């Protein structure tokens, strides 16, 4: 009886973990890509200027992450919105640097060229950029806490200091894949 109860508990845990991952099937290759829900790592409100009827607001900044698993390995997607500029790019090979709380730095290379899209509010822009997660980088991330993230762009580096809770979000996203494969 205890074995059956244990089996059912494990089955429920695995089924619960599976519901937290999403998937797409590539039309070109037929490969299945699994990915986590998007999680917010950083947010900063935009500025307000002017008075009365001329009062305007600028777009705030945010950084969100998603972890993807391809048949060939893992990738980290950053969703970036900024009110700092109306346009920027991230080029293939530019990196996202994860500064860990112990002072070490994990450098993730960009997988392609990405160009921002202008915000519908008239000022500011956003883009989605994908970075390669090597097995060594995954192990370093899982064994630490991310203190800040620096993303290299055509406009210089964008720095995102993370609160302590946000520093473990990417680790939690990676753990969702472990629950499935075990």
Q: Cβ distance 115 to 126 under 8 Å? A: no
Residue 76's domain comprises 22-181
- CA 61/CA 38 separation, integer angstroms: 16
Q: Would 3 be classed as within a structural domain?
A: no
Q: Would 144 be classed as within a structural domain?
A: yes
Q: Would 162 be classed as within a structural domain?
A: yes
| Rounded (5°) CA angle 144-148-149 | 105
Q: Would 14 be classed as within a structural domain?
A: no
Share of the chain above pLDDT 70, in %: 77
Mean of all residue pLDDT scores within the chain? 83
Q: Would 45 be classed as within a structural domain?
A: yes
Q: Would 1 be classed as within a structural domain?
A: no
Q: Would 2 be classed as within a structural domain?
A: no
CA 95 → CA 37, 50, 68, 76, distances in Å? Answer: 23, 37, 17, 12
pLDDT of 97-127, one tens digit each? 999 999 999 999 999 999 998 877 666 788 9
pLDDT of 56-96, one tens digit each? 555 678 899 999 999 999 999 999 988 877 789 999 989 99
pLDDT at 9 over 80: no
- Which has the minimum average pLDDT: 33-37, 48-52, 71-75, 115-119? 48-52
Please count the structural domains in the chain: 1
Highest mean pLDDT among 5-9, 23-27, 127-131: 127-131
Q: Would 172 be classed as within a structural domain?
A: yes
């Amino acid at each position: 009886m205890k074995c059956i109860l244990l089996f059912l508990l494990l089955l429920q845990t695995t089924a619960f973990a599976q519901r937290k991952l999403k998937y797409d099937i590539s039309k070109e290759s037929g490969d299945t890509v699994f990915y986590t829900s998007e999680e917010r790592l950083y947010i900063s409100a935009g500025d307000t200027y002017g008075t009365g009827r001329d009062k305007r607001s600028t777009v705030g900044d945010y950084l969100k992450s998603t972890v993807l698993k391809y048949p060939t390995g893992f990738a980290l997607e950053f969703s970036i919105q900024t009110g700092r500029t109306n346009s920027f790019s991230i080029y293939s090979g530019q990196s996202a640097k994860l500064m860990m709380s112990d002072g070490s730095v994990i450098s993730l290379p960009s997988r392609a060229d990405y160009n921002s899209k202008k915000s519908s509010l008239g000022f500011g822009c956003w883009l989605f950029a994908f970075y390669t997660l090597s097995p060594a980088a995954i192990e370093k991330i899982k064994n630490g806490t991310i203190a800040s993230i620096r993303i290299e762009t055509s406009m210089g580096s964008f720095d995102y200091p993370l609160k302590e809770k946000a520093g473990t979000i990417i680790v939690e996203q990676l753990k969702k894949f472990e629950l499935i494969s075990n």
